[in-house]
A and B are shown apart, each in its own frame.
Chain A
Amino acid sequence: MKRIAAFVIAGTILGIVLSYLFLLIDWFPPKASEEAGPIDSLFWWITYISFIIFGWVMAGMSYCLWKFRRHGASDMRDGSHIHGNTALEIFWTAIPLAIVLGLGTWGWLVLNDNEASAANPVKVTAKLYSFNFDYLYSAKGGFVPDDGKYVSRYPDSFTSSMLVLPVDRQLLLRVRTADKQADGELEVVHGFWVAEWGVKRDATPGIRGDGEATIKVIPNRLGTYQVQCTELCGSGHSIMFNPAGVRVVSQADYDTWFAEQLAKAKTDAAAAAGNKGLAVFKTGGCGGCHAFTPAGSNGAVGPSLDDVSADAAAAGKPLDAFIRESIVNPGAYTAKGFAQGMPGTYAQTIKGADLDELVKYLAKGGSQ
């Protein structure tokens, strides 16, 4: 009994030392949401508990290895004839049981707290290989209330390749995958992750983001954050991230940005009405990955289309033919400094007159 107490104490000390060393560096990125705090303390505690259990095992093992070694190959002794010890076995069944049930309960409470009700929905759409954010806007201004229904298009909604949010307001992110019928996209599973928030959700085809696949988060730290895709989604999975995909700003800055975006969405709509090429550019989602100044897009996943004539020269092809080929068969030429990651699906979704207009629009640098 005394010896077991000694093992437990020695192991506990070893575990505390190891945990302390492990936690010297805070391996998690800086916490930037209300949710990340409780996750962090859960992490802190479970690290201590894990290393203490590890310490118990190592203390017992090291003691035995030090004390009960064979004395050379000619040592033919056997060990003690011990088959077990019921009290000890009950002890090491009950203690871990209590620990894991305690941790489980705590984890469940943290989760429930983190996922408490939220309003202010933003629709997160994961595509090959970028994210879009639809701001659902009502005539009264600001976010529409969460009425529990998924609404695909509000009259005055706008889409952004950057998720801009006011600080300290709870958000409901409805994560979904691009829709085959509406967006002409191949549907695959993507994941939406902002490491600093401690939250993550998959965009699984068929799960529309109005019930289960939602993220509730209260960003509480100003700054720019990276958003990454966390499910293998095809050849471009590695490049499906946006280092500046999330910006958390003050309420005043947010209101300004929101008004700008809304106004821009309206002028864009007007411009697109008079410019077929721009309209195709918008509905095709080109700006999600490519920067193109005339269309006001700043995507950085793929090469900038402002430089498309330089790329055509590098590929040694006439401009029109080069652009057309790059859309319908993206693998034919890969711009310097980029890995091939553009989906090969646009041949099905952009064709005929639409394709002609888009090629003309890009070749002429955005003019009609």
Chain B
Amino acid sequence: MSEPLSAVTVQTPAPPALDPAPRRGNILTRAGWWRALIWTILAGAIGVLVPMAVRTAVGWDAWQYQVVSAALMLTLPLGFMTGIGCFDYWGRYIVGATLPEGHADHGAYTWRDYFKVNTDHKVIGIQYLVTTFFFFLVGGGLAEAFRVQLAQPGNTVFTGDAYNGLISTHASIMIFLWIIPAFAGIANFVVPLMLGAEDMAFPRLNALSFWMLPTAGLLMVVSLFWGGFNGGWTGYAPLTTHDPGDQSTFFNMAVQFAGTSSILTAINFIVTILTMRAPGMTMSRMPLLVWANLTTSALVVLGTPFIAGSQFMVMFDRVLHTHFFDVSNGGSALAYQHIFWFYSHPAVYIMMLPGFGIISEVISVMARKPIFGYRALAFSTVSIGVLGFSVWAHHMFVSGMQDWLRGPMMITTLLIAIPTGIKVFSWVATLYEGVINLATPMLFALGFIFTFVLGGLSGVWLAILPLDIQVSDTYFIVAHIHYVLFGGSVFTIYAGLYFWFPKMTGRMYDERLGKLHFWITFISFNVTFFPQHWLGMVGMRRRVADYSSVSDQYPWVSHLNLLITISAFVLGASTLILMYNFIVSWRHGKPAGDNPWRALTIEWNVSSPPPIFNFDGAPRVVGGPYNYGQPGAKHVVFDKPADDGHGH
């Protein structure tokens, strides 16, 4: 029962010079990329042959593309994850050949350790961030592609299903492979350190969560070679249940893996945060990033099963000919929207709350001030989480659902503005009488306040029923979601990356390039997305490859679209500055020291990068996390390590 936990806590900090335990077996039997290749091929064969054998046995045509492709998308990722070694420990445990407890898979001693199944939360954090950034670039590239189509009315670069494939894949990758897991990556690195924990509660589960991501991402990217799934990231049934090309299966299955990854990580965070805090770390001394991740994790655990279910139902309708959403056979098309949004609205907060946490950390440290209204900020995070589950149908105000439901959903949606407002006002009040350091993370934090307030206010707009009915499914919505997800989430991810880069790598990024990156991003972001409000109001629908019918009436529509396309390319290029900065600084940057920001939280009181087992001494929390301006204030002290190497 206590097996997984004891694997974490009963451990002696390894002497830094110790190499990981030598691995047994040869190149084909021990976990790694060669075995992954073999297992993937084997799993592929199973995915093709088993359905064909079963079909032959019952006297049907052996080959059925829909069935085989769905089976392959299940077996290939599982085969890969098994081969790379995600299930080795559990597998042997089940058959009684338990591996000795050890640290063979823990920590990065060379760069190669980042390409293995690794149980160190810091390695996993970096794995997450690098992987998700790769998918961010892919998703951005897709956006540039369809902005070319939209540069002028009447373009025919991508039309019809090709265009729909681009927009659907863009949105899905950005949401499921960038924003959600990028926050999980930052939290993976930072949260255990902040808590004074030696690792996450379930390190092997943590590794499995990571390795599900690249497979989910590959499913989405590979779908592009079949034209991309084209039902939108919302995948409304019944459009997706009778998708003749079957690309929707890619989306259905990718969401399963990305979603399972989220759920497992969330469980891991909840247990870690609730049970593994260092002595003295009471709930009311937890940094706000920890509160944010606790709430987010609760949302993930409660919400994500709904989207997983909805995508299975869509796939079953198409592949197995069930009738969940088939109206003419007793199904309900509207039910899909309810189930989908019951996850996908809370998902908005899954994509925003961790960002709020990052901003609280950055602003307090960079203004040298205690965060203003700690309790109100923590409480507002939790109340956004709770309210977040009561607003889903505001995505369906025009859907034809029960009329009465719109009233309560409007009120709850408006109420969410209150805790959100409390946060914004508290951040601004934190600046008051501070000593503000405008380093890059702070610039992104302040830029975030600017863009997020605009995005939040257009959200209030959209809550008001008659206005929502006028602008829903137009570019106004596109503007709004990019203001909250790019101006909101991505800005906070940027702030977090710059803020913790010195901790992760031990080196400082180039501040001038960082500032350049901020200003180009901030300006081109606003030029790209602000005019989209106007386009939506005048009548430009979202998800159209051509807007001639509107620009024929209002010529400025095509001028604005050209401006947006140009600006979108500048915005895309700005990402390369960050990449260049981080790659060069990682190798050649100035040594950052342990605590370049003079912050109080625990992660800044260990070396940069932190020791493989996080702490040389046993952390004991003795005060609040943000007591700036109080001479001699301490958040953590390190006791001499006890005999068993940990301080619990």
Contacts and interface: CB of A to CB of B under 8 A. Distances in A.
Interface stretch (A133-141, A205-213, A265-273, A359-367): A205-213
B497 interface: no
Interface in A37-54: 38-39, 42-43, 46, 50-51, 53-54
B7 interface: no
Nearest to A103: B464
Contacts of A181: 328
Interface string B125-166: 000000000000000000000000000000010011101100
A81 B537 contact: no
Contacts of B328: 180-181, 187
B470 A198 contact: yes
Contact of A238 (B402, B473, B545): B545
A202 B432 contact: no
A201 B398 contact: yes
B482 interface: no
B467 A204 contact: no
B431 interface: yes
Contact of A207 (B244, B400, B433, B449): B400
B422 A78 contact: no
A114 interface: yes
A80 B436 contact: no
A235 B546 CA distance: 12
Interface residues of B, number: 99
Contact of B369 (A78, A96, A107): A78
Interface string A31-69: 000010011001100100011011001101100110011
Interface stretch (A147-155, A163-171, A223-231, A274-282): A223-231
Contacts of B534: 25, 27
A103 B470 contact: no
A69 B438 contact: yes
Contact of B239 (A85, A97, A189, A344): A189
Contacts of B370: 81-83
A234 interface: yes
Contacts of A230: 398, 472-474, 541-542
A77 interface: yes
A145 to B, nearest CB: 22
Given A78-B369, A187-B328, A100 B450 contact: no
Contacts of B544: 237-238
A85 B372 CA distance: 8
A28 interface: yes
Contacts of B428: 57, 60-61, 64
Contact of B446 (A65, A69, A81, A239): A65
Contacts, number: 290
A84 B373 contact: yes
A81 B434 CA distance: 9
Contact of B470 (A39, A46, A76, A206): A39
B37 interface: no
A287 interface: no
A232 interface: yes
Contact of A42 (B403, B417, B467): B467
Interface stretch (B180-188, B264-272, B455-463): B455-463
Nearest to B377: A84
A212 B402 contact: yes
A200 B467 contact: no
Given A206-B333, A212-B400, A238-B544, A104 B410 contact: yes
B403 A83 contact: no
A89 B598 CA distance: 28
Nearest to B421: A96
A202 B450 CA distance: 34
B466 A110 contact: yes
A115 B333 CA distance: 24
B543 A232 contact: yes
Contacts of A92: 421-422, 425
Nearest to A66: B436
B429 interface: yes
Given A104-B463, A189-B236, A77 B435 contact: yes
B376 A84 contact: yes
A168 B357 CA distance: 54
B460 A50 contact: yes
Contacts of B454: 54
B351 to A, nearest CB: 21
Given A42-B464, A42-B467, A96-B421, A191 B244 contact: no
A233 interface: yes
Nearest to A90: B376
Nearest to A196: B539
Contact of B160 (A84, A201, A204, A236): A236
Contacts of A84: 372-376
Contact of A206 (B156, B327, B630): B327
B400 A213 contact: yes
Contacts of A54: 453-454, 457
Interface string A171-189: 0000100001100001111
A80 B629 contact: yes
A46 B552 contact: no
B552 A243 contact: yes
A92 B163 CA distance: 45
A89 B414 contact: no
Interface string B543-581: 111100110110000000000000000000000000000
Contacts of A25: 534
Nearest to A343: B244
B431 A68 contact: yes
A237 B411 contact: no
A107 B473 contact: no
B527 interface: no
B40 to A, nearest CB: 33
B415 interface: yes
B50 interface: no
Interface string B616-648: 000000000001111000000000000000000
A100 B418 CA distance: 9
A195 interface: yes
Given A100-B414, A103-B460, A198-B466, A233 B239 contact: yes
Given A57-B424, A79-B433, A238-B546, A198 B469 contact: yes
A241 interface: yes
Interface string A284-328: 000000000000000000000000000000000000000000000
Contacts of A195: 470, 538-539
B320 interface: no
Contacts of A228: 539, 541, 549
A340 interface: yes
A176 to B, nearest CB: 9
A343 to B, nearest CB: 10
A114 B375 CA distance: 43
Contacts of B465: 107-108, 110-111
Nearest to B167: A232
Given A39-B470, A57-B425, A189-B333, A81 B400 contact: no
B156 A111 contact: no
A191 B398 contact: yes
Contact of A199 (B160, B469, B552): B469
In the A-B complex, list the 3 residue pairs whose CB atoms are closest, starting with the nearest.
Answer: A213-B400, A81-B629, A79-B434
Given A46-B464, A60-B428, A110-B465, 13 more contacts: A46-B461, A79-B369, A83-B370, A83-B374, A92-B422, A97-B418, A107-B410, A188-B236, A195-B470, A201-B400, A213-B400, A232-B239, A238-B160
16 contacts: A38-B466, A50-B461, A61-B431, A79-B367, A79-B434, A79-B435, A100-B414, A100-B417, A175-B400, A187-B328, A189-B238, A198-B469, A200-B470, A206-B332, A232-B234, A339-B160
Interface of A: 25, 27-29, 35, 38-39, 42-43, 46, 50-51, 53-54, 57-58, 60-61, 64-65, 68-70, 75-85, 88-89, 92-93, 96-97, 100-101, 103-104, 106-108, 110-111, 114-115, 175, 180-181, 186-189, 191, 193, 195, 198-207, 209, 212-213, 226, 228-239, 241, 243, 339-341, 344
